[in-house]
Amino acid sequence: MSVAADRSENLRMIRDSAGAVVPPGDLRRVRALRSGAPGIDRDVWREMCAMGWPGLRLPEAEGGSGLGMAEFCALVEELGRGLVPEPLIQGAFAARLLRGEALEALLAGERIVLPAWQERAGAIAAGRDAALRDGRVTGRKLFVPMASCADAFLVTTHDGLALVRADAPGVSLEIAGTQDGGHFGTLSLDDAPAEAVAAATEDAVDEALDEAALALAAYLLGAMERSFALTLDYLCTRRQFGRPIGSFQALQHRAADLGIQIALTRASVESAAATLDSAGPAAPRAAAVSRAKARAATASMLVTRQAIQLHGAIGYTDEADIGLYLRKAMVLANLHGSAAEHRARYARLLPETDHD
């Protein structure tokens, strides 16, 4: 088989396996987990680890599957379709930076390690005001998704990465619920015992952050595609004035416009994944991620908002699943940088030159 055919076969298998672990059609599990701590199902997490998902991107020598961002994005997209709350994007982000025993425990599903990298709202780059001295870390980290399920946090500091156990002295976590039924944690570290993670350079952290941002875009892509599919179904089945509402031209045009935005998002996400999967200079790689994240953020908000409108009043009930997609987009659209932040970063990274 050719390399390309091999790869598309891989992608298909990954999508199928995702569907087997977390079937997208049924959101009862997702609903049942809403707004409780820890907000995830450990058994599902362990199953994801058994499938090798957090380590998908790692070389085989490190216990991973040696696959690329294209494959990881395809996987995450499937999770987005099912609004899966387990923090795979964050776990994979941590796995990129850990080594040795800590990595093994993460990949085996024994310990959940979540990155705590953010120090101000709206950030794209890692905050490094936290300090690591003599095996102790002090600082404050914001917006850690699903923080209460973490066994340990991977903390960016001025002095490199630090691994901090969630139950260590000096660690406190403040939880704020999010619209998707999950939560953000604010992590306060006051002279908390920590283990330095020496191997990871700042560049490696930046790259892992960009991979996570792109994965979020892929998750949003899956979620918006699914909400669009549900909406198209509804347009075909709901009848008013003796006809399916999808026969009204105003709604057909609306649907067509949403379809364009979804196609653009897919193209942008896949192109960014291919860019990250090939060797190249840092700026265009990061710019590709910003382009995809900016598109996914705006398109997902547009599509999920319109999905409500096109459903009419039933779309404004908590009972209807369609609203869960909007709630998810509200939480993820600005995570790892809003559309505006990413547009600004894109312009910084790839300034336009006069007539080239």
Partner 1 sequence: MTDLNALDDEDFRLAVRRWLREAYPPELRNPPKRLHWRDNKVWYLKLAEKGWLAPGWPREHGGMGLSAAKQLIMLDEYERHGVARTNDHGIVMLGPLLIRYGTEAQKSRFLPKILSGEHIWCQGYSEPNAGSDLASVATTAVREGEDWVLNGQKTWTTLANDANWIFVLARTDRAAKKQEGISFFLVPMDAPGVTVRPIVNLDLHDEFCEVFFDTVRVPHDNLVGAVNQGWTMAKALLGFERVMIGSPKQSAYALGRLRLLAQRMGGWDDPVFQDRYTGLRLDLADHTSLYETYLEILRRGEMPGADASMLKLHQSELYQRITDTMLEIAAENAGLLEPMEGNRDLNPAGLFLQARPVTIYGGSNEIQRNILARTVLGLPG
Token pair belonging to 92:
């994979």
Residue 281 interaction partner, one of ligand FAD, partner 1, none, beta carbon < 5-8 Å per kind: none
Interaction between residue 313 and ligand FAD (CB under 6 A): yes
Residue 191, helix vs strand vs coil: strand
Number of alpha carbons in the 13 Å side-chain half-sphere of residue 334: 11
Burial of 4 (0-12, 13-18, 19+ CB in 10 A): exposed
One-letter identity of residue 37: A
Of the candidates 62, 71, 78, the one whose C-alpha atom is nearest the C-alpha of residue 18 is 78
Interaction between residue 294 and ligand FAD (CB under 6 A): no
Interaction between residue 310 and ligand FAD (CB under 6 A): yes
Q: CB of residue 120 vs partner 1: minimum separation in angstroms? A: 9
Residue from 193, 248, 274, 305 in contact with ligand FAD (CB under 6 A): 248
Interaction between residue 262 and ligand FAD (CB under 6 A): no
Interaction between residue 312 and ligand FAD (CB under 6 A): yes
Q: CB of residue 24 vs ligand FAD: minimum separation in angstroms? A: 24
Nearest to ligand FAD of 176, 314 (CB atom): 314
Residue from 1, 3, 121, 250 in contact with ligand FAD (CB under 6 A): 250
Pairing of strands 183-193, 160-165: unpaired
Quote the CA–CA distance of 70 and 269 in Å, as a whole number: 9
Residue 139, helix vs strand vs coil: strand
User: Looking at the chain, how many residues does it have?
Assistant: 356
Backbone angles phi, psi at 299, to 5 degrees: -65, -40
Q: Judged by CB under 6 A, which stretch of 99-107, 160-168, 211-219, 247-255 contacts ligand FAD?
A: 247-255
Residue 332 interaction partner, one of ligand FAD, partner 1, none, beta carbon < 5-8 Å per kind: partner 1
Residue from 101, 241, 281, 351 in contact with ligand FAD (CB under 6 A): 241
Token pair belonging to 73:
């994005």
Contacting residues toward partner 1, per CB under 8 A = 35, 121-122, 142-143, 176-180, 184, 239-242, 245, 248, 250-251, 301, 305, 308-309, 312-313, 315-319, 323, 326-327, 330-335, 338-340
Backbone angles phi, psi at 161, to 5 degrees: -85, 145
Interaction between residue 238 and ligand FAD (CB under 6 A): yes
Residue from 105, 131, 173, 251 in contact with ligand FAD (CB under 6 A): 251
Nearest to partner 1 of 175, 274 (CB atom): 175
Q: CB of residue 304 vs partner 1: minimum separation in angstroms? A: 11
Interaction between residue 256 and ligand FAD (CB under 6 A): no
Q: What value does the CA radius of gyration of the chain take, rounded to a whole number of Å?
A: 20
Q: CB of residue 318 vs ligand FAD: minimum separation in angstroms? A: 12
Of the candidates 142, 151, 124, the one whose C-alpha atom is nearest the C-alpha of residue 40 is 151
Neighbouring residues of 86: CB distance < 8 A, sequence distance ≥ 6: 40, 41, 44, 45, 48, 79, 146
Residue 153, helix vs strand vs coil: strand
Q: Judged by CB under 6 A, which stretch of 24-32, 241-249, 261-269, 318-326 contacts ligand FAD?
A: 241-249
Binding site for ligand FAD (CB under 6 A): 238, 240-241, 245, 248, 250-251, 309-310, 312-313, 316
